[in-house]
Amino acid sequence: MSETEQTLSIIKPDAVERNLDEKIKLIFKENGFKIIKEKKIQLEKSEAEQFYKVHETKPFYNDLCNYLSSGPIVVMIIEKIGAVAENRRLMGATDPKKAEEGTIRKQYGISIDKNSVHGSDSIENANTEIKFFFNS
Ligand code: UDP
Ligand code: MG
């Protein structure tokens, strides 16, 4: 039996820029998530580099950090039973072209880099990412 969990969601610059933040928040609520905390911020590049440090050896790392820090984002702690996996399912595949119907990335993602949302991929990373934005 899964337990109530919290995970970190980010509405990325491409989605905030297109004024999709309220629509995406509604999708979370309609799918049973509670939004516990939220804030709209813009990251410095150095903060994006720290956030995405797990990807620092990847070829897309520099572009990814430039992108995440390129405009306002909405950062949220969201809560539900099994929230980490449920959020990953609702987001859809990293590449919107491969995302299933009904997922946020299928509906709103532009490309593999501009894919509209971030979600923690494990409970451990959710805790780390929540602290990164809300507990410092
Ligand atoms: N990304 C990219 N090119 C790639 C793979 C990933 O630009 O080939 C970006 C994309 O924005 C993705 C982020 O890097 O959301 C983090 O990658 P990850 O594999 O963790 O995907 P996610 O967990 O976001 O689905
Ligand atoms: Mg990831």
Encode pLDDT of 56-70 as tens digits.
Answer: 999 999 999 999 999
Parallel/antiparallel/unpaired status of strands 4-11 and 34-41: unpaired
Host domain of residue 86: 4-134
Q: What's the total number of domains in the chain?
A: 1
Q: With DSSP H G I counted as helix, E B as strand and the rest as coil, what are the percentages for the chain, rounded to 5?
A: 45, 20, 35
Residue 55 annotated among the catalytic residues of the structure: no
Q: What are the beta bridge partners of residue 119?
A: 9
Please identify which of the residues 6, 96, 118, 120 carries the catalytic annotation. 118
Written as one letter, the residue type at 133 is F
Between the CA of 36 and the centroid of ligand 1 the distance, in Å, is 25
Which ligand is the nearest neighbour of the Cα of 55?
1
Q: Ligand 1 pocket: which residues have CB below 6 Å?
A: 55, 60, 64, 94, 112-113, 115, 118, 121
- In terms of Cα–Cα distance, which of 36, 120, 89, 79 is closest to 132? 120
The pTM assigned to this predicted structure is 0.97
Q: pLDDT tens for residues 73-130?
A: 999 999 999 999 999 999 999 999 999 999 999 999 999 999 999 999 999 999 999 9
CATH number of the domain that residue 27 is part of: 3.30.70.141
Strand partners, 63: none
How many Å apart are CA 46 and CA 40, to the nearest integer?
18
- The one-letter amino acid code at 80 reads K
